[in-house]
A and B are shown apart, each in its own frame.
Chain A
Amino acid sequence: MTELSTTAGRAVEAALAAGAGDAEAYASRDSGREVRVHGGEVESLTAATQSGIGVRAWIGGRVGYAFGTDLSEAGVSAIAARAAGAAAVADEDEFAAPPRPAEIEALPGLSDPSVAAWSAADAAQLALTVERTALAADSRVAGVEQVVYADSAERVAVASSTGLAGEYESSDCFAYLQALADGDGGKETGLGFGLARGPAGLDPEAIGAEGAERATAMIGASKPSSRNCPVVLDPTVAASFAGLIGGALGASAVQRGRSPFAGRLGEELAGEALILHDDGRDPGGPASAPFDGEGVPRRRTALIEGGRLRAFLYDTYTANREGGASTGSAARHGYRSLPTVATSNLVVAAGSLSFAELLGTAGEAVYVTDVAGLHSGVNPVTGVFSVGASGHAIRAGELAEPLREFTIAGDLISMLGAVEAAGADPRWVPFGGSVLTPPLLIAAMAVSGA
């Protein structure tokens, strides 16, 4: 048993000794680094190590949580005692109970050795290559606001008084830039990014080129006229919307009447073109893991298939409320957070249309490459949204002039019903959680501009 699992086990014992009837501990240790580059120089180089533990304590149906960074024996006991103390303040909930242990299938390939093998100087070179590529791509690229490279290697251990015990290691890394292009009246910005399990999996030239291409593409953008028309969402935007839909499919929101999907299980909500899964074990998925934030095996769940709403996502508590089984959807933002129901990797199935064919099908339409204000412009309870957007006009099935300063508005349910086609080329995107999606064609949306 590793030190981390031992610490988790000790925390469980300490919580029981402090008066908890049941207890669970989630311990993690990670080391990471970040390089920021600007103007051909390293702006900052960060080396980080952190470790901590979060303890959930049950006293009957009362649940409390405590977390901390002090992993000494006394420190862990104090955290466990605070968890039990917190439980005493909560109200009784008959469905609150720790998960039962289940067979956990190993998931190899989550750790990339290149994270450890690459030096900080290697990582800095990668980031500098991203910047250099962007600057060289087009004479209209005026600069790069920043290139960020980051990686981390994490170990997670979970233990509980119900006999649950698991541990895994994973690594991830990403790089992105915000390129600046000189426009007619001011600057344009363009994001380029890449995700992988280790730096060896990143393509710095492709990242730099994407930022340059997105920034220069916006030069000369104008406002579109307000109208209802077909809209093509590029994968970064499609991912954001998939994330909103995935969030509203969490049983916690559904059971509490705070989801537009409440009461709609089995209904025909989408066309055949949209197939949506949550897959916590996809080998390419940044969020993949053998088990979720409370030690329940990750799995693949069909959410929308054959046009129908097939399932919601459950953790142990929400599953208990319906007498069902968890879908392994308890998510954590590290040891500091209580597990909550959330998507793991969302996978939107690819269709058969190439990008050109997708545009051809759209006809007279708007291609949206960026949205802004998702955290304030979307009501997750009702599904009503209006968000800022930029992109391009589509005329006679071809990309035309750039567009900015407009909004797209509607509601998530209508939007699902209007998905007409999915493109053939999917991409992993870190927006909306962790999403694999192709571009999507929506038959009609309200576009508001001039």
Chain B
Amino acid sequence: MSELIEPGVAERVLARALANGGRFAEVFAERRRGLAMAIDESRIESVQSGAEEGAGVRVVDGATTYFAHVDGLDPADLERAADEAAAALRGERRRPRELCAAAPQPLPIERRPEDVPAERKAALLRELDERARGQGEEVAQFTASYAEARREVAIANSEGLLSGDDRTRTRIGAQVVARRGDVVETGAETLGAHRGFELLEDDPALIAEQAARKALTLLDAGPAPSGSMPVVVGGGFGGVLFHEMTGHGLEADHIQKGASVYVGKLGEQVAQPLLNAYDDGRLPHEWGSDAIDDEGAPTQKTQVIEDGRLTAYLYDRLTAEHDGVAATGNGRRESFRHLPIPRMTNTYIAPGDATPEAMIAELDQGFYAVSFAGGQVDPATGDFVFGVSEGYLIEGGKVTRPCRGATLIGNCLEALMAIDAVGDDFFMKTGICGKGGQKAPVGTGQGHVRVRAMTVGGTEL
């Protein structure tokens, strides 16, 4: 297990945290290391290296969580955090249980990024730059970024849990600006995983080519249509559709506050029987995977929709306790400076049996959203919005011209029920999800998916 915090120190800190009472105490210790750099105007810049360590201590008493965080991992720092967390309580001293160390296996990292010389990473970005600029004269600007981040975490709590994880994520991104006269378009692509530098061994510059292709294609784009129509959503990052439309609404904190359209829907038919969906924090190498969540619970695979029926919510420790169910390993936090909250890990619609070609061929008029720039939902009202990064018109069963500046909007329950085809061309992509001021790496995935009717918000009326 991690050497971040010694068991003896953890026990002492937990005892101090419960000095004024409380039914539960926890210490979360973390060491963060990272390196990032970028290429812009064919020059390597913004080379930055970070190193942070610290801890957060929480004490739960009744319905209230008392939380304090400090920088540094010296025993004195941890005790200070414990004292601050306990400061507002006024109860009887409680004793934590004796710690019993668990040894979850961190995801395997074949080639530690920190062992690869920084110059090699710079060379990789130059390779991306050349590849993108080689796609045509109309590629006017290229930027790319490289980032590696390692998070070593240790968690101990008053119920005797002592666990830890060692997580390394690597990601590159490419952005192209293409120009033809006055027309300017952009294209972007990313590649990331819970993996080391081995992620980048197999032609990473392909993403530069893909980003360039998107931007160049869009140079021929016309305005996006407006109004309600059938929409075919592409695979991979198209899965952000399900992440926003359903995933957030299944997070138990929203459910328990009555701030989700999925309240009281457990066991009900919320989608067509062809739909099966999961949250899975254990997928090998995936961006949203970890060995344990940030409360020490092992990550797991949770089926949230089975043959169109809603089967599960996503829980962290406190919300699971509230509902009297087992936690689902979804208690995540951005860092030791944040409290854990229920979060998705890798969320996806399982592959179906339709082909993308057939889905499109059946449509006389429609919109094809190959990928999104992102999305947003208000889980309480169910209203969502997705920015389309690459979209096309569908006319007479065929994909015709590209469209710029389209947004999809709608309401979760209606749109989920309106999915009438799920493709067999499944794959996963990476995303950064924001919730309650905290960012988390999440995986999204699906094959092509067709929604019978959705509002496309363009400028062509």
Contacts and interface: CB of A to CB of B under 8 A. Distances in A.
Contact of A373 (B41, B177, B257, B375): B375
B339 A46 contact: yes
Query: What size tier do the contact residues of chain B reach?
Result: 35 or more
Query: What size tier do the contact residues of chain A reach?
Result: 35 or more
B409 A66 contact: no
Contacts of B70: 49-50
B148 interface: no
Contacts of B410: 405
A137 interface: no
Contact of A50 (B49, B71, B140, B407): B71
B323 interface: no
Contacts of A228: 461
Interface in A184-238: 186-189, 223, 226-228
Contact of B407 (A45, A79, A146, A409): A409
B9 interface: no
B216 to A, nearest CB: 15
A446 B459 contact: yes
A277 to B, nearest CB: 27
- Most B CB atoms within 10 A — which of A91, A121, A378? A91
B105 interface: no
B118 A256 contact: no
Given A45-B64, A52-B52, A388-B407, A381 B186 contact: yes
Interface stretch (B193-201, B221-229, B284-292, B294-302): B221-229
Interface stretch (B18-26, B342-350, B376-384, B394-402): B376-384
A408 B461 CA distance: 12
B67 A44 contact: yes
Interface in B14-42: 37, 40-41
A236 to B, nearest CB: 15
B376 to A, nearest CB: 5
A253 to B, nearest CB: 10
A138 interface: no
B280 interface: no
Contact of A69 (B51, B63, B254, B257): B51
A257 B141 contact: yes
A146 B435 CA distance: 13
Prevailing SS type, chain B contact patch:
strand
A89 B37 contact: yes
Given A82-B51, A89-B118, A44 B258 contact: no
A39 B253 CA distance: 13
Interface in B40-59: 40-41, 43-54
Interface stretch (B82-90, B96-104, B305-313, B422-430): B82-90
Interface string A86-130: 110111010000000000000000000000000011000000000
Contacts of B352: none
A372 interface: yes
- Most A CB atoms within 10 A — which of B186, B254, B381? B381
A223 B226 CA distance: 13
Interface string A47-68: 1111110000000000111111
Contact of A189 (B52, B71, B381): B381
Interface string A61-84: 001111111100000001100110
Nearest to A143: B258
The 8 closest A-B pairs by CB, nearest first: A407-B457, A376-B387, A376-B374, A388-B385, A373-B385, A448-B226, A377-B387, A386-B407
6 contacts: A223-B455, A226-B226, A256-B40, A377-B385, A386-B457, A405-B411
Given A256-B141, A388-B376, A449-B455, 20 more contacts: A47-B87, A64-B48, A66-B48, A90-B37, A180-B380, A187-B381, A226-B461, A258-B141, A338-B46, A372-B383, A376-B386, A376-B387, A387-B385, A387-B387, A390-B383, A405-B383, A406-B455, A407-B385, A407-B457, A448-B226
Interface of B: 37, 40-41, 43-54, 62-72, 84-85, 87-88, 118-119, 121-122, 140-141, 177, 179, 184-186, 224, 226-228, 254, 257-259, 261, 337, 339, 372-376, 378, 380-387, 389, 404-407, 409-411, 455-459, 461
